[in-house]
Amino acid sequence: MTGAKPAIVIHGGAGTITRADMTGEKEAEIRAKLQESVQAGYRALMAGESSSRAVIAAINVMEDSPLFNAGNGSVFNAAGNHEMDASIMEGAGLNAGAVASVSQIKNPIDLASRVMTDSEHVMLMGDGAEEFARQQGFKMMDPASFYTDFRWQQLQRIRAREQAKADQKDQWYSTVGAVALDMQGNLAAGTSTGGTCNKRWGRVGDSPIIGAGTYASNSSCAVSATGHGEVFIRHVAAYNICQRVELGTPLSEAADTVVNDILVKANGEGGVIAIDRYGNIATPFNSEGMYRASIDTGGAMDISIYREDGEAEGALVGNVDH
């Protein structure tokens, strides 16, 4: 399958994203960063690099931006610290790596990838994961370097609301992720997150869980999820879609069934990005919006935030299956 036409899809999180909350300036900034991310991944693919390298390149752009809840823009936990999670999987050999609750790693997706390539394990967590990172030559960041004023103010708002027992729905269950198909016909998926704002007790969401937040298999598809992690774990969201595709369901139908039927019934707000080995793309979400961008096998780029974007920008979408 060498010579396949590559394609890539990224997301920057789903959740309570409404036009009312958004300024024109902020929206332009987010769209520009989504474009930078998807183009970074696509450039890697066009240079003949592997789908996992492309996934990492795309995610690194979002991790390095304060606009998304991952890496540099990670939310604060209840103790006022950062606990970041990431996972990556390659569809060719089902190799996978994941880290949970790291606080000193600039790009958690890089460490997840190193777990995949340089350890005999799939998942490392906490101080132990950072000990592995140190042995692998990763630079340890000052945890304070992850401070952003926007996230700190968000924590203060949520703390105030929690004391008022108000609705905590908009804790921003957001993540970043990417899925890609490379010229060799290999799929990969990756996800990186700063967790949920104000989280306690070492809570682990779906992002570092292979099967729930991330899955890739060349015999089906590659999926990265973003949403209410607990529900995505209980329904094994990413693998759920892959196994349906493996058994013959078209990608768009499989992804739609899981996101808009199974997860909706379980109150699991969020969405997924998915790509199959033919380059078909699906980006269903049941939340008000999902930051997302794609470049399909025909080279057509789409950058969307709201539900109606896909239709409004139909002319740009080309032969994308969504």
Whole-number Å distance between alpha carbons of 94 and 13 = 25
Helices (H), 96-135: 108-118, 126-135
Return the amino acid letter for 159.
R
How many whole angstroms separate alpha carbon 100 and alpha carbon 30? Answer: 26
Q: How far apart are CA 89 and CA 13, in angstroms?
A: 19
CB of 184 to its own copies, least distance (A): 20
Q: Which member of 2, 175, 193, 283 is catalytic?
A: 175
Cβ closer to its own copies: 47 or 79? 79
The two tokens of residue 166 are 């108000």
Q: Could you identify the residue written with the tokens 């999902």?
A: 290
Answer positive or negative: Cα dihedral of 312, 314, 320, 322: positive
Dihedral sign, Cα of residue 197, residue 21, residue 191, residue 241: positive
Residues that bind its own copies (CB under 8 A): 89, 94-96, 100-101, 119-129, 131-132, 200-205, 209-212, 215, 229-230, 233-236, 239-240, 243, 247, 266
Q: Is 175 part of the annotated catalytic residue set?
A: yes
* Residue (190 or 205) nearer to its own copies, CB: 205
Q: How far apart are CA 227 and CA 232, in angstroms?
A: 7
Minimum Å gap between C-beta 236 and its own copies is 4
Where do the H-state alpha helices sit in 225-317?
229-234, 237-246, 251-257, 263-265, 309-312, 314-317
Tally of CA atoms within 13 A in the half-sphere of 58 that contains its CB: 37
CB of 260 to its own copies, least distance (A): 18
Whose Cβ is closer to its own copies: residue 209's or residue 290's? 209
Which of 212, 320 has the CB closer to its own copies?
A: 212
CB of 173 to its own copies, least distance (A): 12
Q: How far apart are CA 243 and CA 221, in angstroms?
A: 9
Q: Report in angstroms how near the CB of residue 214 gets to its own copies at its nearest.
A: 11
Which C-beta is closer to its own copies: that of 45 or that of 254?
A: 254
CB of 120 to its own copies, least distance (A): 7
Judged by beta carbon, residue 126 or residue 318, the one nearer its own copies is 126
CA distance 189 to 51: 8
How far apart are the C-alpha atoms of 51 and 254, rounded to whole Å?
A: 22
Active site residues: 175
